[in-house]
Structures are given as C-alpha cells and as structure tokens.
C-alpha cells in the first residue's frame, strides 16, 4: 500500500507481448528502493485501425489505464514503449496527442522523466525510439534523464541498455529473457529518477 506522504513516480508504459512491462516492473523496483518514493504503474489502451473497435474501459489484466490525475499527482515520470520502426508504438503516441490541456496548464513542467524500450532485434531502433519518446516530454517541460557511464553495465552489455534509457532485446518471438545487465540498468534508471524527484522536491 502506498504511503500518502511518499512521492508518486508514474511508470507509464505500453506493452504488447510483455517485454516492456517487465522493464517497467524493474524500473518500479528501482524507484521503490528509494525511501520516500512509490511507483505507480499505468498503461494505455491499444488502438485499432478499425474505427468501430474500442478497448475495454478497464484492462482485462495488468496495470490500470492512465488517467489525468496520474499526471497531476506524479513527482516524476518513467515512459516506456516497444519500438515501432524506430518510434514509440501508436497507443502511446495517441495518448500523448491527447494531452494538450496538460501541456497548456504545465501539469508536468519541472518534473524529472526517463524513457525505456524493448525491441525484437538488437539493432531494431532502440535509441531512435528512446529519443522519439523524449520529444513530447521536452514539450511538456519535463527534465529528461539518461543513464550515466558510472553504470559499468553500459560498457559491458551485449544486449540492451543505452545512455538514453533502459532497453531490452526481446528477440523476434519475445523469448529472450532480460539479461543481468539490462536488469541492473533498468533498476538504476528507476532509482536515479526517484532520487532526482526527491532532490527537486527538497529545493
């Protein structure tokens, strides 16, 4: 149960086959390793090319759908999506396209943020996707964090993990387990985000 005095760090993700969700959970673990911070896991509905199709109002399983209060309540944001041709997935893009009111009111301005992704192939656009997810965050006035090379796994990983954010090479069938390096980098990113949110709140 969340402590009402703790800072809420929103971990907002879309995951089609579960790989991005696993990264989200690791980032949440990193957030909650910092005393005074709680992770709030949220997702976005799928979108369909058929105009009459709609997602259920409540997800059938997993994290609840994100709501406007989640953006207002959070002291920081971790944003994750699988890559789609070097860009974030359509459901996540659709969500951000609908946040003009929050942009105008500055709901997220001054809050720290980070990004994470998963890909089917090792060179399938991890870094391009991470950079594409940063763009709406900059427009919202968020302060975007990466992973510094003080994390030695950035020099040793042979799978995912970038200075732009946590990542995972899931494989074509999504059957590749998250490696130790990927795990440590995801946890470190969540921890860095939470520590930054605490420092900003103390100012």
Q: For 103-138, how does the pLDDT look when each residue is reduced to its tens digit (9 = 90+)?
A: 999 999 999 999 999 999 988 899 999 999 999 999
Q: What is the mean pLDDT of residues 187-199?
A: 98
Query: Which phi and psi (to 5°) does residue 81 adopt?
Result: -155, 145
Q: What is the pLDDT of residue 185?
A: 98
Q: Which range, 43-47, 169-173, 175-179, 189-193, is most confident? A: 189-193
| Cross-strand partners of 79 | 12, 115
Residue 1 has pLDDT above 60, yes or no: no
For residue 84, pLDDT over 90 is answered with yes
Nearest to 70 by CA among 112, 28, 41: 41
Q: What's the mean per-residue pLDDT of the chain?
A: 93
Q: Which of 20-24, 65-69, 95-99, 170-174 has the lowest mean pLDDT?
A: 170-174
Closest CA to 188 of 159, 158, 156, 162: 162
pLDDT number for residue 105: 97
pLDDT score at 55: 65
For residue 202, what pLDDT is reported?
A: 85
Cβ–Cβ < 8 Å for 82, 90 = no
pTM comes to 0.93
**pLDDT given for residue 56 in this prediction:** 65
pLDDT of amino acid 177: 94
Reduced to 3 states (helix: H, G, I; strand: E, B; else coil), residue 26 is helix
pLDDT score, position 170: 93
Instruction: Report in angstroms the alpha-carbon separations of 57 from 64, 67, 100.
Output: 10, 12, 22
Dihedral angle of Cα 43, 174, 116, 148, to the nearest 10 degrees: 150
Q: How much is the average pLDDT of 76-88?
A: 96
Confidence band, pLDDT 50/70/90 cuts, at residue 158: very high
pLDDT at 164: 98
């Amino acid at each position: 149960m969340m402590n009402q005095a703790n800072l809420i760090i929103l971990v907002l993700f879309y995951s089609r086959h579960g790989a991005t969700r696993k990264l989200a959970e690791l980032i949440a673990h990193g957030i909650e390793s910092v005393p005074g911070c709680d992770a709030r896991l949220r997702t976005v509905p799928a979108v369909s090319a058929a105009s009459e199709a709609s997602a259920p109002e409540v997800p059938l399983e997993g994290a609840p759908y994100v709501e406007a209060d989640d953006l207002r309540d959070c002291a920081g944001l971790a944003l994750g999506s699988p890559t789609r041709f070097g860009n974030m997935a359509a459901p996540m893009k659709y969500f951000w396209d609908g946040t003009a009111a929050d942009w105008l009111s500055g709901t997220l301005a001054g809050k720290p943020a980070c990004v994470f992704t998963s890909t089917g192939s090792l060179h399938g656009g991890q870094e391009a996707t991470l950079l594409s997810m940063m763009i709406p965050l900059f427009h919202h006035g968020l302060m975007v964090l990466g992973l510094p090379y003080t994390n030695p796994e950035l020099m040793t990983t042979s799978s995912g993990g970038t200075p732009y954010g946590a990542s995972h090479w899931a494989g074509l069938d999504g059957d590749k387990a998250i490696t130790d390096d990927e795990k440590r980098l995801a946890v470190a990113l969540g921890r860095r985000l939470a520590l930054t949110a605490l420092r900003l709140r103390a100012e």
